[in-house]
Structure 1
Amino acid sequence: MAELPEDFKCPISLELMNDPVILATGQTYNRSSIQRWLDAGHRSCPKTKQELKDTKLIPNYALRSLIHQWAQANGVELKKPSDLKTQLHNAANNSEKEALKQLKAIVDSLLRRLSSSGLQMRRDAIKDVRVLAKESKDTRTCIAEQGAIAHILPLLSCRDAQIEENAVVALLNLSVDDENKVGLVAEGAVDAVVHALKTGSADTRASAAVTITSLAMVDVNKATIGSRSDAISALIKLLAEGNPRGKKEATTALYSLCIYVDNRSRAVSQGLVSILLSLLSCEGGDTAERVLALLDLLATSAEGRMAAGAG
């Protein structure tokens, strides 16, 4: 048997994780181990020692998939997770089990169609994923757990405007649930969304900005997205040259990111304040209100006040 990869070990038990979850600090633990830690009254991250303001546990679907692949390839039998979701499934009646089975079959069929060489088949499949992801929390969970994210992300740079737009909105729909937001970022969604933000059609770029706003609702994601070298610059470019919808969504996304202090200096250093000041003279209504709100937020930093004074 191959040596167990370090990333597959729980930092607490040092054993192979069967149900990896992400803590608010961005660290991954096995659910049973970190839950025992929290149940014992601890309110800090075991690895980083950071105080926890939120003890919510978010499934790390990407890592879980990699662990399952490794276990299967090396003949390792994984223990079945004993989280609440599994318990509820075990207690479900036959009709509910059958409904879940059918949903998984639908998602699997869509993933096969997404991998098709036929352009129209891929267009229809990603449109169906977009619709399905809007249905309910259960369908979104199933889509994520079946490994759909890995199939969707490459579509954001496939150079087909119709597929790219539907792929971005599919990610947006999946990001509605908080437990998916960190998982999407962990699977590489930021790079894919930023690429669409820079190269997509007008509609795709605006939808990409909305997706960033949704992902940034989780605090740990604000830092992750902002640290991406061209995420903020791509939003600023959309704000400067986009259509009315693009400008509005770019302003909202930038506001969401700049709630995190470090992102304010990044945005100011890339010329955001001067662009916002220029927009005040030509934009009205909702967009103007968003521009003013963002300027007020940036003015809470010394860099922002200096840039506003210079402008």
Structure 2
Amino acid sequence: MAKSGVFEGDPTTVVKAVELKKELQKMVRAIVDEDDVNLEALDRAQQMLLALRELKLKKTASLKLHNHHYDHEMASGTVPEEFKCPLSKELMRDPVIIATGQTYDKPFIQKWLKAGNRTCPLTQQVLSHTILTPNHLIREMITQWCKNHGIKLPDSVSYINEEGLTGADRDHFLSLLGKMSLTLSEQKEAAKELRLLTKRMPSFRALFGESLDAIPQLLSPLSQSKCESEVHPDLQEDVITTLLNLSIHDNNKKLVAETPTVIPLLIDALKTGTIETRSNAAAALFTLSALDSNKALIGKSGVFKPLIDLLDEGHPLAMKDVASAIFNLCIIHENKVRAVRDGAVRVILKKIMNRLHVDELLSILAMLSTNQRAIEEMGELEAVPCLLSIIRETSCDRNKENCIAILYTICFSDRSKWKLMREEESTYRTISQLAQNGTSRAKRKASGILERLNRAVRDEDVDIFYQGVAQKCTGWLLLNLRNDKFVKVKNTVAVAYHSLKWSPVVFAPSTKVYCDTAILSPYATAAVSRTTTTTTTTLSSPSATAASHDPQSYLHQAVAMNKETHAFG
């Protein structure tokens, strides 16, 4: 493990710092390598930097001593180095020896090992075992030194460490779990206390991860009820909130999500109970979905319909938790498909149009816009005017960026929306202003839309020109097909009709010129037999394969031929 530097002192802090650095390294590499980085990635990197800063500023001493003189001695740095724990940099109270022969303070090396480390923090040697042997000699020397300096050293069980748990605490925890299978009043009392303990003391959250039976015991009053009406609403609220609290602990996330009864009970809680129960169930799903493996597990459980229904209800207490859960889950592709299928686009757009929780919901909509069905629904639900108006109204760069990213996808997927975008640009210059003043990603998306719209205008101008020429050319051909003087022209047009089955004939992009098939048809059969003997034709004979024909080339030849014969009538 790399040196932790300023993060030395608390093994849990060391592990968190290393993990944060690894994640930050990946994020920075992605930001540097990716051309189309969105603001969420930058915000995530910023959050990781802030978390590292918090760890750096955190006091390395997790042990709170109750003696002022001892604090003074520690601050002055007079404690002999051999009496300090290599992890905490504090005077050891319960020195123990590990397999490599190094001495550490017991609670700190226990936390190091509990975090999954199987090496010596100082030497990085792999430990042959994790047995901790008391170092009585160092303990006696520390005690004597404290006496000589007038410092009172608390017993190892009386000082407060970050875990904050004693044997009595563990016994109380087990007794509370035992009450979850007793009478309703005892269940309610135990659930309420577990809720408070897991809220105030992170160490109690960790206890749930030490036993495979703890979570099923907690949930037993809910899972054993035959129907939802049998569950007392207060009991349900306390149990679900306790589940949320213990899910916050990183080491619990996988265990909680993979406990068979958890996700079904969270889905039930989304549908029933108090609004706080429903909101906390959504928050628990959000917390659990931090792990990618949990995202897939939760997504395929049928969670999106109740989440979207709760979002549709629009209760202020639940909106942010529900939106956060949907956003986290939709990071993986298969969950986007599920969310769109269960009606997320309609509900989210309705809320955005009413200007409710626009920030969170726009982020979800932008994420869903990579799904083709979602884009089709946005077009049907008049998303374009709404998104353009938000760009005009908002001062939030992230919202502008999300809006223009969605519009970019719509622009390249649904040409029927070009007119709306052109009208907006003509009236307000909304897109061009964002192309000049937006974030780097917003500028790219806005410029891409403008380029596509301008190219479409040029194509339409060409289409209009060819449509006029084609109409004149078709009129001339139909007029002269009745004249035997132009039999060879008839042959060629008839062969074209026969081989390409032009009905209608396509002369130019987006322009369909309908020919009188009643006039062309009589010539088709005869023309096929004569084509092989025709040595000179006014128009080039079509090739044998219909797929190789370019209808526009016939038009150009007809125009050239006309210059030598007649003017278009």
Residue in 2 that maps onto 1:301: 371
1:110 aligns with 2:176: yes
User: CA shift at 1:304, angstroms?
Assistant: 2.1
Letter in 2 for 1:144: G
Q: Counterpart of 1:226? A: 299
Which residue of 236, 242, 253 corresponds with 1:164?
A: 236
Distance 1:109 1:235 in 2: 35
- The separation in 1 between residues aligned to 2:164 and 2:208, in whole angstroms, is 17
TM-score, normalised via structure 2 length: 0.37
The counterpart of 1:141, out of the listed 188, 195, 206, is: 206
Residues 123-158 of structure 1, C-alpha deviations (whole Å, 9 max, x = no match): 111111111212344322223324321122234455
Match of 1:211 in 2: 284
**CA deviation map 1:164-194 (0-9, x unaligned):** 1111110111011221011001112111111
**8 Å CA contact retained: 1:107, 1:143:** no
- Distance in 2 (CA, whole Å) between partners of 1:232 and 1:113 is 34
Distance in 2 separating the partners of 1:279 and 1:98: 45
Matches within 5 A, 1:15-26: none
Query: Contact 1:239–1:247 (CA<8 Å) still a contact in 2?
Result: yes
Residue 89 of structure 1, CA deviation:
8.3
Please point out which of 193, 196, 205 is paired with 1:128.
193
SS at match of 2:200: coil
Contact 1:202 1:242 in 2 (8 A): no
SS of the residue corresponding to residue 134 of structure 1 reads: helix
Contact 1:130 1:169 in 2 (8 A): yes
Residue 113 (structure 2) pairs with residue 84 (structure 1): yes
- 1:101 maps to 2:167: yes
2:210 aligned partner, one-letter code: E
Q: What do residues 62-119 of structure 1 show as CA deviations (whole Å, max 9, x unaligned)?
A: xxxxxxxxxxxxxxxxxxxxx92297784689638995422220111101222211x2
Query: Following the alignment from structure 2 to structure 1, what is the Cα–Cα distance between the partners of residues 333 and 367?
Result: 10
RMSD after superposition? 2.6
Assess if the C-alpha contact under 8 Å between 1:154 and 1:192 holds in 2: no
Aligned ranges 1:275-294 → 2 under 5 Å: 275-284=347-356, 287-294=357-364
Structure 1's 98 and 88: CA in aligned 2 closer, same or farther, altered over 3 A?
A: farther
State the shift of 1:243 in Å: 1.3
Structure 2 alignment gaps of length 5 or more:
1-111, 117-128, 135-154, 223-227, 382-569
C-alpha contact (below 8 Å) 1:268/1:307 kept by paired residues:
no
Choose the corresponding residue for 1:267, options 324, 339, 350: 339
Query: Where do 1:192-211 residues align within 5 Å?
Result: 192-211=265-284
Structure 2 distance, partners of 1:149, 1:143, is 6
In 1, Cα distance between the equivalents of 2:190 and 2:284? Answer: 20
Cα distance in structure 1, aligned partners of 2:316 and 2:248? 24
Q: What SS does the aligned partner of 1:300 have?
A: coil
Identity score, percent? 30
Among 256, 260, 265, which residue is 1:184 paired with?
A: 256
Structure 2 CA distance for aligned equivalents of residues 99 and 203 of structure 1: 29
8 Å CA contact 2:181, 2:221 repeated in 1: no
Amino acid at match of 1:249: D
Q: Alpha carbons of 1:106 and 1:207: their partners in 2 closer, same or farther (altered >3 Å)?
A: same
Q: What is the Cα deviation at residue 277 of structure 1?
A: 0.9
CA–CA distance in 2 between the matches of 1:267 and 1:255? 10
2:313 is matched with which residue? 241
Q: Match for residue 310 of structure 1? A: 380
Structure 1 Cα separation of the partners of residues 164 and 339 of structure 2: 50
User: Contact between 2:180 and 2:220, CA under 8 Å: does it hold in 1?
Assistant: no
CA distance in 2, matches of 1:113, 1:180: 22
- Secondary structure of 2:157's counterpart equals helix
Verify the 8 A CA contact 2:187 2:221 in the aligned structure 1.
Answer: no
Q: Is the 8 A contact 2:286 2:328 kept in 1?
A: yes
Q: What is the alpha-carbon distance in structure 2 between the residues aligned to residue 128 and residue 202 of structure 1?
A: 21
Q: Which runs of 5+ in 1 are unaligned?
A: 1-82
Partner amino acid, structure 2, of 1:259: I
Distance in 2, Cα, partners of 1:99 & 1:199: 35
Aligned residues of 1:130 and 1:166 also touching (Cα < 8 A): yes
Return the match for 2:328 from 249, 256, 260: 256
